[in-house]
């Protein structure tokens, strides 16, 4: 049995609450029983290694679908109702998905991908009696070696369309263990979960860590609705751990500042009652970190992670947390900082290796090869994160890492989502009025990068028309916040657009 599955099925038969949502909850035993039904159904309907898409709302059935698919030896592709049909179709085609598990409430949204695929309603599958589980209670394919693919998560890159990062059982199990140990997770914890599940943070760093530790999960689903900061403050009281992206902390403080003094006192007490609040997926502005310290006595525990590696570097649970810094690599994570020639340096690109590094991009051998660098001493290759980092060379081995930004101007982070400027440009170029376009990220307190499209037009067009054009093609969080019409773009002597100069111009007003 793979370690990942063992940690989940260890809850078999348990009567304790496992996961709860506004719509209801389920106990340990109930979730495991549902997962077995999913495994049994998929075992009959699909073949080992096949990609199975999950179009399932956060809650007990999501966990059942996820672990049921893994127990059947299938690989999970998580879809989100946030994506318009062209993106969802692309993910399914790229991954070769033939079977979709969908919540009844989301069935309408599966219409664009239903042709040629079987759509199973997760509630029906979870209710059907299990008749194929072996007598010892374990689905037959539970015995997955660590390098067995478990999850294919789509992540934006520097090449236009997103790539499917293949993450193995071993990757997820080691992550689950390392993060739980580093952050002191136990079965007495209750994780307050308000993150989307189609990305590493919400799915693995938050949900699977809690699952592995035997903890409880309180799940808030804001998909398709705005993040409800007041609700999150109110729910902190009954939780022990909150994990969030910096934009969520921004929203929390905006709501806090707008609240009356009684509400503020209640929310401050709720925040203090948490044993841990973490931040990741983007840089936490020091101002937000300090505000959390004013309220609770501690800044949030900031850590660095990626779809391809999970959490790589983290501040300590108990030791000093330095604002603006992400701490030190987790045990088993090896990190190097290298200059342009691949030599060790105090500042430069961060390279990572170890058992939590993913297996490669699905059906993209060249991009996988480009993502890794050979080891100068002939050891295992290093994953090139594409992040520029620095450490104080005088502070020795314990100098915390500080993330300075991305090595590519074409990778943006907005509200914790990684976006490809090139993907957004490609979508915009499909509009007949668009001649040339440059998409950039302008630093912004609320979003991290505020996505701005600078457009040279062939014919008159409104910003609204371009917004609607993009909305039909890309998730709402990829749509530029501003469309700026220009006569020309800053260029170098060979005519190439110089994006840093464009950002400087936009920042200058």
3-state secondary structure (DSSP) of residue 378: coil
If one asks whether residue 387 binds ligand AMP (CB under 6 A), the answer comes out as: yes
Phi and psi (nearest 5°) for 276?
-155, 135
Residue 61 as a binder of ligand MLC (CB under 6 A): the answer is no
Do 249 and 292 form a contact (C-beta atoms < 8 A)? yes
Partner whose binding site includes residue 202, from ligand MLC, ligand AMP, none (CB under 5 to 8 Å by kind): ligand MLC
Rounded distance between C-alpha atoms, residue 381 and residue 374, angstroms: 5
Q: How many whole angstroms from its chain centre is CA 436? A: 31
Task: List the single partner that 406 binds among ligand AMP, ligand MLC, none, CB under 5 to 8 Å by kind.
Answer: ligand AMP
Q: Which residue number is nearest to ligand MLC in terms of Cβ?
A: 415
CB atoms within 10 A of CB 484: 15
Taking the alpha carbons at both ends of the chain, their separation in whole angstroms is 58
Question: Which does residue 183 touch among ligand AMP, ligand MLC, none (CB within 5 to 8 A, set by kind)?
Answer: none
For ligand MLC, the binding residue among 25, 212, 214, 305 (CB under 6 A) is 305
Residue list 470-489, contact with ligand MLC (CB under 6 A): 476-477, 479
**Maximum C-alpha span of the chain:** 72
On whether the CB atoms of residues 397 and 327 are closer than 8 A, the answer is no
Q: Which of 307, 314, 315, 356 binds ligand AMP (CB under 6 A)?
A: 307
Residues from 443 through 462 that contact ligand AMP (CB under 6 A):
none
Q: Which of ligand MLC, ligand AMP, none sits in contact with 302, Cβ below 5 to 8 A by type?
A: ligand AMP
Dist CA 168 CA 204 (whole Å):
12
Contact positions with ligand MLC (CB under 6 A) in 434-463: 447
x/- track of binding to ligand MLC for residues 107-146 (CB under 6 A): ----------------------------------------
| Residues forming a β-bridge with 310 | 306
Q: Give the Å distances, CA to CA, from 355 to 2, 145, 383, 420, 505.
A: 15, 13, 11, 27, 43
* Residue given tokens 């915009």 in the structure block: 428
Helix (H) or strand (E) holding 141: none
Alpha-carbon gap, residue 325 to 389, rounded angstroms? 10
How far is C-alpha 361 from the chain's CA centre?
Answer: 16
Q: Are 58 and 34 in contact (CB under 8 A)?
A: no
Query: Running DSSP on this structure, what letter comes out for residue 107?
Result: G
The reply to whether 209 sits near ligand MLC by the rule CB under 6 A is no
Q: Quick one: tokens of 45?
A: 């309907």
Piece in contact with ligand MLC (CB under 6 A), picked from 24-32, 52-60, 142-150, 304-312: 304-312
Q: Binding string to ligand MLC for residues 385 to 424, with x set by CB under 6 A, is what?
A: -----------------------------xxxx-------
CB of 286 to ligand AMP, least distance (A): 12
The residue range among 101-109, 219-227, 232-240, 305-313 that interacts with ligand AMP, by the rule CB under 6 A, is: 305-313
Q: Least distance to ligand AMP from the beta carbon of 275, Å?
A: 20
Partner whose footprint covers residue 227, from ligand MLC, ligand AMP, none (CB < 5 to 8 Å by kind): ligand MLC
| Residue 281 DSSP symbol | S
Give which of ligand AMP, ligand MLC, none residue 385 binds (C-beta under 5 to 8 Å, depending on kind): ligand AMP
Q: Which residues bind ligand MLC (CB under 6 A)?
A: 195-196, 199-202, 205, 226-227, 245, 247-248, 280-281, 305-307, 414-417, 447, 476-477, 479
């Amino acid at each position: 049995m793979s370690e990942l599955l063992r940690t989940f099925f260890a809850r078999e038969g348990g009567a304790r609450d496992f996961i709860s949502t506004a719509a209801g909850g389920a106990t340990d035993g109930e979730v495991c029983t549902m997962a077995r039904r999913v495994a049994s159904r998929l075992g009959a309907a699909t073949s080992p290694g096949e990609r199975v898409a999950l179009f399932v709302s956060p809650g007990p059935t999501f966990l059942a679908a996820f672990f049921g698919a893994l127990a059947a030896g299938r690989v999970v592709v998580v879809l989100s109702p946030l994506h318009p049909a062209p993106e969802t179709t692309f993910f399914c085609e790229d991954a070769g998905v033939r079977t979709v598990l969908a919540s009844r409430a989301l069935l309408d949204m599966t219409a664009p991908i239903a042709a040629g695929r079987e759509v199973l309603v997760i509630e029906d599958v979870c209710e059907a009696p299990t008749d194929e589980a072996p007598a010892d209670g374990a689905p037959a394919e539970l015995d997955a070696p660590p390098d067995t693919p478990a999850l294919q998560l789509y992540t934006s890159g520097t090449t236009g369309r997103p790539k499917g990062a293949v993450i193995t059982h071993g990757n997820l199990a080691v992550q689950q263990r390392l993060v739980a140990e580093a952050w002191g997770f136990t079965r007495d914890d209750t994780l307050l979960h308000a993150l989307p599940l189609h990305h590493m943070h919400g799915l693995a760093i938050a949900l699977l860590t809690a699952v592995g530790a035997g903890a409880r999960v309180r799940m808030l689903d804001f998909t398709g609705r705005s993040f409800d900061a007041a609700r999150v403050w109110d729910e902190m009281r009954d939780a022990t751990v909150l994990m969030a992206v910096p934009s969520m902390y921004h929203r929390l403080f905006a709501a806090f500042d707008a609240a009356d003094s009684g509400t503020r006192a209640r929310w401050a007490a709720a925040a203090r009652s948490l044993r841990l609040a973490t931040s990741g997926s983007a840089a936490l502005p020091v101002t937000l970190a300090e505000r959390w310290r004013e309220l609770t006595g501690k800044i949030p525990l900031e850590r660095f992670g990626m779809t391809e590696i999970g959490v790589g570097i983290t501040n300590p649970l108990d030791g000093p947390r330095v604002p603006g810094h992400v701490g030190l690599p987790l045990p088993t994570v090896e990190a190097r900082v290298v200059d342009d020639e691949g030599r060790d340096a105090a500042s430069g690109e961060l390279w990572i290796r170890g058992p939590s590094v993913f297996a490669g991009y699905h059906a993209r051998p060249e991009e996988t090869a480009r993502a890794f660098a050979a080891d100068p001493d002939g050891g295992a290759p290093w994953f090139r994160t594409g992040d520029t980092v620095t450490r104080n060379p005088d502070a020795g081995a314990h100098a915390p890492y500080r993330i300075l930004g991305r090595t590519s101007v074409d990778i943006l982070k907005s509200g914790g989502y990684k976006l490809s400027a090139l993907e957004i440009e490609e979508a915009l170029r499909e509009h007949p009025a668009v001649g040339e376009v440059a998409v950039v990220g302008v630093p912004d307190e609320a979003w991290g990068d505020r996505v701005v499209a600078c457009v040279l037009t062939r014919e008159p067009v409104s910003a609204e028309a371009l917004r609607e054009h993009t909305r039909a093609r890309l998730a709402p969080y990829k749509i530029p916040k501003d469309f700026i019409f220009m006569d020309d773009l800053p260029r170098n002597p060979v005519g190439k657009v110089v994006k840093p100069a464009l950002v400087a111009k936009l920042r200058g007003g």
